Each structure stands twice: as C-alpha cells, then as structure tokens.
Structure 1
C-alpha cells in the first residue's frame, strides 16, 4: 500500500527485541501502526486495522502533508 504514498518512510521495530520502544510509543499491544508527520503523531492504529480505512486515512494525511 505504501507504493501509493512514496514519501512515507516505513520503519519496523520488534518490541520484543527493543523493549524500550513499547514504553516510548505507549504501544502495549501488537501490531501497532504509528505515523508521524513533522515530528508529530498523526495516526495510530492497533490490533485489527481495516485496510480501506487505513488507506483513506493515509490519503487524507498525505494530501495535507505533501499536497498530493
């Protein structure tokens, strides 16, 4: 899906291997998707993420941030 949003960079962190990240992001379930724009959290989804809802949210945020 991120091919539709080429300016969004993906990072994957395994909280089991980097335990500090769970507390830092307050992510106490898995999976957790967190999107930052200009250093601020703009989207957070956890556990069950409806794909179309996520795509629509990413599109809205992408347009607002990058002026698609």
Structure 2
C-alpha cells in the first residue's frame, strides 16, 4: 500500500504525509484505536476527519480532501 499512498500523495503535494508502523508507535496506535493494518487517518486542524482501513477507498479519500480543501 505504500506505493499507492505515494502515488496518491503526488496529487496532493500541499498535504503533509506521515507513515508509521503501529508496533513502533504503540502509544499513537492506542490513542487512535488502530487495530487493522493498513489504516489511513486524515486530520484537519488536529481532529480526525476520515479513516480508512484494510481496503482504502481512494475515491472517497479524494472527495473528503476536496471538501476540506475549500475551508
């Protein structure tokens, strides 16, 4: 999935993208209830606004980013 994320991120260069192994950052995984892998989280102003797990719906993620891009 990393290559898919990298390809998707090329369309959104203004978004900061971070990747982490949930086992290496267990406290973050616990705080955000990350049980499945992979999981993508989208934050806006420090709040989670979208979550995708296992099978990522890239079209849905694009719609959400477009929606928040107008704010």
Shorter-chain TM-score: which interval? 0.7 to 0.9
Question: Following TM superposition, by how much is the alpha carbon of 1:19 offset from its aligned partner in structure 2, in angstroms?
Answer: 1.7
Instruction: Give the structure 1 partner of residue 59 of structure 2.
Output: 52
1:25 to 9, 25, 32: 32
TM-score normalised to the size of structure 1? 0.76
Number of matched pairs:
64
CA–CA separation in structure 1 for the residues paired with 2:61 and 2:48? 15
- Structure 1 gaps, min length 5: none
Instruction: Give the structure 1 partner of residue 12 of structure 2.
Output: 5
TM-score normalised to the size of structure 2? 0.73
- Note if contact 2:50-2:61 (Cα within 8 Å) is conserved in structure 1: no
1:5-61 deviation digits (Å, cap 9, x = unpaired): 222100111012222221011111111111111111111111111222222222222
- Using CA pairs under 8 Å that are at least 6 residues apart, name the structure with larger relative contact order, 1 or 2: 1
| Superposition RMSD in Å | 1.5
